[in-house]
Structures are given as C-alpha cells and as structure tokens.
Amino acid sequence: MTSDTGTFLIGGDLAVRRLGFGAMHLSAAPGPERAASLAVARRAVELGVTLIDTAHLYGGGANEELLAEALHPYPDGLLVTTKVGVVRSPETGEWGYDSRPAALREQVDHALRRLRVERIELLQLHRIDPETPLADQIGTLAELRTEGKIGRIGLSEVTVAELAAAREVTAIASVQNRYNLLDREHEPVLDACEAAGIAFLPWRPVAWGGAGATAEVAAVAAEAGATPTQVMLAWLLARSPVVLPIPGTSRVAHLEENVAAADVRLTPSQRDRLDRLAATA
C-alpha cells in the first residue's frame, strides 16, 4: 500500500521512505574500514533513509552487529530488516540453506541479539530451503510473528508460484529479488507484488549492460541533470509504487548521490526510452 510518492506502507502499516539502503557492502573489519562503515550508516539516517537492509549472510552476522553499533538505539521510524535461512556449516565453513524450523528459530534469536532488539519488524527468508517443506519454513516464521519476535514476513529470490504458495500459509509483506533497468528476469514477480500491494525490494538495483544501453542511460542522465546511477534508481522508483530500491555503497559520497535520486523526475519520453533497453541489454 502506497501512502504517497515518497513512502510505502510495508504490510499496510509500516511506513518507510521508498529509497532505502543496502548495508551488504559495509565492511566490519576493525580499524579505518569499520570507522568508514559506521560513518556511512549514520549518514544514511541523517539523509532521511528509513529502510536499511542487512542479513546474517553478510559477514555471518557481523553486518548486523555493525549496524547496531552505528545506530542503536534506533531512531523512531527506522526499519532495519534482516534475512535468515542461509548459514555457514561449522564443519566445512561453507554457506548453505538451512530453514528447518529449529534452525530458523535459532537464527532469529541470534539476529535479535545482534541487532539489540526484541522484535524484528520485517524478517525476510533469504532463500527457500529446497530440503525443507515450504509450509514448514513459512509456518515457523508465522509462529515467531505470533510470539512477537517478528513483525512482518518477507521472501527473497522467489518465483511467482513460490510467492503464491507462501501466501497460502500466511501474509507476505515483502519480496526481495534481483531486478534493475537492464535485468528484468523477475518482472512477473514484481507484477504479482504490485497486484497484491506487496513491497518489492530490488537488490542489485544498479547494473550496467552493453555499450548501447550505457549510452542511452548517459544521454537521459545528461538531459535530466543527473548521474547515470541516479537515472537507474529514478527509473525503478517510477516503475511501480511498490518498488523500494536498496542501493548499497561503502562511500558517503556515493550514498549521497544515491539518496538524491529520489528527487530525479523522468519525463514520459525518457521513461519510454529506458523501458526499451531491456530488450537490447
């Protein structure tokens, strides 16, 4: 549900600004890199970002701890969403899917501790575990929501059929799939989310294709008085009212460029030219 052009109500009641921030690129390594990451996270909030995306996968929880160090106690209106379902094997050190009910419960408890909260307002299943029945995975998250540990449930990298199956178990508030101007493989999923009023968080929202596509984006950017990155983000915001891009960066200057994309307005002609790029990228 959209309240206006700049905000979206996730799950129908949780208001966030539509242009968020993906924390994946923030380094948690000690020293200058960590200090720079803390500065970027804090600057994002200063710029008015109210949706920050992280995951257990990002550093095995180190990214979540970094955000807590930077931002806790969290300001009113800030949503830090995280993801579970991908874990590292203690035996092999390899990452893999694990969404068995007991494993999900343990992962959520760890996320609550790292983020220093009693409830995660939006928790997303990072990937569907092919070895565990979908109803068990979604059902466990629904139980955790009933218990008050989760506010809303989201999915990541799902098909239209998987989204529909999950919604038969419980309400789904968000979907996070790979999607950008030049990579529209999951367009049917976005359309399904729009029809149902489900937030669609495109990861990798900025990407470059062939020379022709790059030239067209650069041309539109010159006309709009914006950067190519801002044009790609502005296109996403114009694509559908349910789209909540989460561009990530480890540099303050790049963050400021991304956030300013919310003020870029593309003309119908420019949007039409950009729409046609998917076929040529």
Q: Compute the average pLDDT of residues 73-98.
A: 91
Per-residue pLDDT at 281 exceeds 60: no
pLDDT in tens, 102-137: 999 999 999 999 999 999 999 999 999 999 999 999
Q: What is the pLDDT of residue 5?
A: 58
Q: What is the pLDDT of residue 53?
A: 98
Q: Does residue 62 or residue 3 have the better pLDDT?
A: 62
CA 247 to chain centre: 8
In whole angstroms, how far apart are CA 47 and each of 16, 44, 67, 275? 13, 5, 16, 29
Q: What is the pLDDT of residue 209?
A: 67
The mean predicted confidence, pLDDT, of the chain is 94
CB atoms within 10 A of CB 46: 12
Q: What is the pLDDT of residue 1?
A: 47
Q: Does residue 214 or residue 259 have the better pLDDT?
A: 259
pLDDT in tens, 158-191: 999 999 999 999 999 999 999 999 999 999 999 9
Which residue do the tokens 């999607």 mark?
Answer: 179
Rounded Cα distance between 258 and 21, Å, is 9
Per-residue pLDDT at 4 exceeds 60: no
pLDDT in tens, 215-260: 999 999 999 999 999 999 999 999 999 999 999 999 999 999 999 9
Rounded Cα distance between 143 and 259, Å, is 36
pTM listed for this prediction: 0.94
Q: Find the range with the poorest average confidence among 2-6, 33-37, 225-229.
A: 2-6
Q: Compute the average pLDDT of residues 18-45.
A: 97
Q: Compute the average pLDDT of residues 45-57.
A: 97
Q: What is the pLDDT of residue 2?
A: 44
Per-residue pLDDT at 51 exceeds 60: yes
Show which residues are catalytic: 58
Across the chain, the runs of DSSP E, i.e. the strands, are 2-4, 7-10, 14-17, 21-22, 51-53, 79-84, 86-88, 95-97, 123-125, 153-156, 174-176, 199-200
pLDDT in tens, 187-204: 999 999 999 999 999 999
Q: What percent of the chain has pLDDT over 70?
A: 96
CB atoms within 10 A of CB 171: 14
- The domains located in the chain, with CATH, are 2-279 (3.20.20.100)
Q: Compute the average pLDDT of residues 7-24.
A: 98
Per-residue pLDDT at 90 exceeds 90: no
